Amino acid sequence: MTGAARLVFDGWGWRYPERTAWAVRGVDLVVEPGERVAIVGPSGAGKSTLLRAVAAVLPDEPDTDDDTAAEVEGRVLVDGADPQDARGRVGLVMQDPEAHTVMSRIGDDVAFGCENTSVPRDETWRRVRHALGVVGLDLPLDRSTARLSGGQRQRLALAGVLAMQPGALVLDEPCANLDPDGVAQVHEAVRALLDTTGATLLVVEHRIGTWLDLVDRLVLLEPGGGVVADGTPAVVLAEHAAALTAAGVWVPGEHPGRGSARQNPAPDPGGRLLRARDLGTARGRRRSDRVGSSIDLDVDAGRVVAVTGPNGVGKSTLGLTLAGLLRPAAGSLHAEPALAGEAGPTPSAWSSRQLAARTGTVFQDPEHQFVAGTVRDEVAAGPRALARPDLEDRVDELLDTFGLADLAGQNPFTLSGGEQRRLAIAAVVASRPPVVVLDEPTSGQDRATWAAVVDALGALADAGTAVVAVTHDRDLVRALDAEELVLGSDGLAAPAPTASDDRPPAPRPPAPRPSDAPASGARPSGAPAAGVTPGVRS
Q: Would you state the pLDDT for residue 417?
A: 84
* pLDDT for residue 167: 94
Amino acid at 105: R
Confidence bin at 135 (pLDDT 50/70/90):
confident
Task: Tell me the DSSP string of 316-385.
Answer: HHHHHHHTTSS--SEEEEEE-HHHHGGG-S-GGGS-HHHHHHHEEEE-SSGGGG--SSSHHHHHHHHHHH
For residues 259-280, average pLDDT: 88
pLDDT in tens, 213-226: 999 999 998 876 68
Nearest CA among 472, 469, 437, 434 for reference residue 454: 469
Question: What are 485-522's pLDDT values in tens digits?
Answer: 999 876 566 656 654 445 443 333 333 433 333 333 33
Instruction: Assess whether pLDDT exceeds 60 at residue 292.
Output: yes
Q: Is the pLDDT of residue 427 over 90?
A: yes
The pTM of the full predicted model, rounded to 2 decimals, is 0.76
DSSP structure string for 178-204: --HHHHHHHHHHHHHHHHHH--EEEEE
Rounded to 5 degrees, φ, ψ at 293 are -155, 155
* Whole-number Å distance between alpha carbons of 96 and 417: 8
- With the CA atoms of 209, 210, 214 and 220 taken in that order, what torsion angle do they form, in degrees rounded to the nearest 10? -50
Reported as a single tens digit per residue, the pLDDT across 154-168 is 889 889 998 998 999
Using an 8 Å Cβ cutoff, are 150 and 440 in contact?
A: yes
pLDDT in tens, 331-354: 999 999 999 999 999 999 999 999
Residue ranges per structural domain of the chain: 1-89+166-187+196-253+506-538, 101-165, 272-496
Reported confidence tier of residue 81, pLDDT bands at 50, 70, 90 = very high
Is 1.10.3720.10 the CATH classification of the domain at 272-496?
Answer: no
pLDDT over 80 at 203, yes or no: yes
- Establish whether domains 1-89+166-187+196-253+506-538 and 272-496 are of one fold: yes
Closest CA to 136 of 150, 147, 152: 152
Element (H, E) at 438: strand 435-439
Cβ–Cβ < 8 Å for 11, 75? yes
Residue 494's pLDDT is what? 64
HSE at residue 277, side-chain half, CA atoms within 13 A, is 4
**Can you give the pLDDT at residue 99?**
77
Q: How far is CA 75 from the centre of its chain?
A: 29
Q: Which candidate, 86, 2, 31, places its Cα nearest to that of 201?
A: 31
The span from the CA of 277 to the CA of 328, in Å, is 10
Average pLDDT of the residues of the chain: 85
Predicted pLDDT of residue 458: 96
Give the per-residue pLDDT at 251. Answer: 76
The mean pLDDT of 238-262, rounded to a whole number, is 84
48 has a pLDDT exceeding 80: yes
pLDDT (0 to 100) of residue 60: 64
- Cα distance from N-terminal residue to C-terminal residue, the chain: 34
Mean pLDDT of 365-394: 91
Average the pLDDT over 300-329 and give the result: 92
Per the CB < 8 A criterion, the answer to whether 107 and 142 are in contact is yes
- The Cα–Cα gap between 288 and 302 comes to 34
Classify domain 1-89+166-187+196-253+506-538 at the CATH topology level: Rossmann fold (3.40.50)
